[in-house]
């Protein structure tokens, strides 16, 4: 087995994207890990409920300083959904003080009216404060909503509801043994490599036209169907001989699956939570803010005609990125002794170093990395010579399905 462990460095912000959105914030892809250095502290609170009440004290003051006169009636209809989203989005930071800045900024709150917030914040450890909100933000929003409703009905505007001291009774233990740490999925890197090497393969072999099913077999991993529909492919080895990169990356061809010999690991951030760095991953993550404006309103050279009700063209968005300089540990493993496939692997690494962008938003200044893998001199020659000497056979082989 050929195993390459390497470290690459972000030369531009890296955005992985995920299925999880919090309001306007799109978070990085994350994986749950057991921390190598767990957090285990004695809380200053005697119960979980008292800890929640201390957080509610802070949230209540933020709520009271929001300028609701500037919020439209339609927006007010979903105000609690918005509050819940902005609450959890504001935990994308390292300290409780940074959280306070973020949630105030999201609601355009310039200053807070009550200094008791300092007292409440000082009762917390950063991890205790932020993890409580991340894990319970829906419940906290519901409690705050009920509190405000009860106070409105009773005419009470003070904070009598919070009649406690954080230092009463026996203290509870706050334990954090796992975390959801952002990373770059191996499947993402593998998919990127597939597109790079298959484009290069078609160019080297002089393939300018492909049947759509063949395109998917090469570029996207294929798709399974009821029958192979591959009468021209007598054996798996024949397909790999014509396209050695399929031997590395595999594909689904009809009802036959070719398992690739290349294993692509996920890229793990060098950080405190992973036990591989001094900095917390929160110090290596930044939130990028952008706007998409309606430029038609300032257009002077083109006469624009409205054909009906147009959807809004303005949008605010935020997304998390790994900052420039972030380092990632990554592994390639090749589970074959086939010399042609090994040569194809090294050619793949050469192409990866030339096309050194990963993940999303590469067209907008994201994703460039510095790859430190030394390729042995002449390692890709066997693969390149194989494609050149079999070019006519390859062209014929991959043109069989084209009508």
**DSSP bridge pairs for 320:** 287
Quick one: average pLDDT of 318-331?
A: 91
- Check residues 329 and 236 and name the one with the higher pLDDT: 329
- Check residues 217 and 229 and name the one with the higher pLDDT: 217
Average pLDDT, the chain: 84
Quick one: average pLDDT of 111-115?
A: 82
Are 311 and 215 in contact by the 8 Å Cβ rule? The answer is no
- Say what the pLDDT of residue 401 is: 56
Q: pLDDT digit string (tens) for 134-152? A: 989 999 999 999 999 888 8
Are 112 and 61 in contact by the 8 Å Cβ rule? The answer is yes
Quick one: average pLDDT of 157-185?
A: 71
Q: Assess whether pLDDT exceeds 60 at residue 271.
A: yes
* Dihedral pair phi/psi, residue 125, rounded to 5°: -85, 150
Q: Assess whether pLDDT exceeds 60 at residue 71.
A: yes
CA distance 11 to 376: 25
- Say what the pLDDT of residue 230 is: 47
- Say what the pLDDT of residue 307 is: 62
Q: Assess whether pLDDT exceeds 60 at residue 162.
A: no
Are 124 and 96 in contact by the 8 Å Cβ rule? The answer is yes
Q: Assess whether pLDDT exceeds 90 at residue 154.
A: no
From 123, 162, 126, select the one nearest 143 (Cα to Cα).
Answer: 162
- Tally the C-alpha atoms within 13 A of residue 309's C-alpha that lie toward its C-beta: 0
CA-angle at 308, arms to 304 and 309, nearest 5°: 105
Picking from 93-102, 169-178, 377-386, which range would have the lowest pLDDT averaged per residue? 169-178
- Say what the pLDDT of residue 220 is: 87
Are 334 and 266 in contact by the 8 Å Cβ rule? The answer is no
Quick one: average pLDDT of 270-282?
A: 91
Indicate the Cα dihedral angle 234, 201, 378, 343, nearest 10°: -40
Quick one: average pLDDT of 252-268?
A: 87
Q: Assess whether pLDDT exceeds 50 at residue 231.
A: no
Most confident segment among 11-20, 21-30, 87-96: 87-96
- Say what the pLDDT of residue 305 is: 59
- Say what the pLDDT of residue 235 is: 60
Q: Would you kindly state where each structural domain of the chain is located, as residue ranges?
A: 2-16+184-266+325-397, 44-171
Q: pLDDT digit string (tens) for 283-297? A: 898 877 665 544 555
- Say what the pLDDT of residue 397 is: 87
Q: Assess whether pLDDT exceeds 50 at residue 161.
A: no
**DSSP bridge pairs for 85:** none
């Amino acid at each position: 087995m050929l195993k390459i462990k390497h470290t690459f460095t972000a030369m531009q912000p890296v955005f992985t994207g995920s299925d999880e959105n919090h309001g306007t914030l799109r978070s990085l892809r994350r994986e749950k890990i057991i921390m190598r250095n767990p957090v285990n502290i004695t809380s200053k609170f005697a119960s979980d409920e008292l800890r929640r009440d201390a957080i509610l004290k802070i949230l209540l003051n933020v709520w009271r300083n929001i300028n609701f006169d500037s919020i439209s009636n339609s927006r007010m209809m979903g105000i609690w959904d918005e509050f819940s989203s902005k609450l959890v989005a504001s935990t994308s930071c390292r300290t409780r003080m940074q959280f306070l800045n973020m949630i105030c900024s999201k609601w355009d709150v310039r200053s807070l009216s009550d200094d008791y917030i300092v007292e409440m914040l000082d009762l917390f450890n950063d991890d205790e404060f932020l993890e409580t909100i991340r894990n319970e933000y829906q419940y906290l929003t519901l409690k705050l909503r009920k509190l405000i409703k009860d106070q409105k009905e009773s005419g009470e505007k003070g904070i009598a509801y919070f009649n406690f001291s954080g230092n009463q009774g026996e203290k509870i233990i706050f334990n954090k043994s796992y975390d959801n740490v952002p990373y770059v999925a191996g499947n993402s890197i593998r998919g990127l490599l597939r597109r790079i090497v298959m484009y290069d393969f078609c160019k080297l072999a002089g393939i300018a036209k492909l049947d759509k099913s063949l395109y998917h077999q090469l570029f996207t991993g294929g798709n399974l169907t009821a029958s192979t529909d591959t009468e021209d492919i007598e054996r798996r080895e024949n397909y790999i001989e014509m396209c050695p990169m399929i031997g590395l990356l595999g594909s689904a061809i009809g009802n036959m699956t070719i398992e690739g010999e290349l294993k692509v690991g996920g890229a793990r951030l060098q950080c405190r939570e992973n036990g591989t760095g001094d900095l917390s991953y929160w110090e290596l993550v930044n939130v990028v803010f952008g706007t998409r404006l309606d430029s038609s309103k300032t257009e002077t050279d083109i006469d624009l005609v409205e054909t009906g009700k147009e959807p809004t063209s303005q949008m605010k968005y935020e997304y998390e990125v790994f900052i420039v300089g972030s380092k990632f540990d990554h592994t390639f493993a090749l589970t074959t002794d086939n010399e042609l496939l090994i040569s194809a692997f090294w050619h793949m690494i050469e192409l990866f170093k030339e096309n050194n962008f990963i993940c999303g938003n590469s067209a907008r200044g994201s994703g460039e990395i510095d790859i430190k893998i030394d390729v042995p001199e002449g390692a890709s020659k066997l693969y390149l010579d194989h494609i050149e000497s079999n070019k006519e056979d390859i062209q014929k082989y991959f043109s069989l399905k084209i009508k």
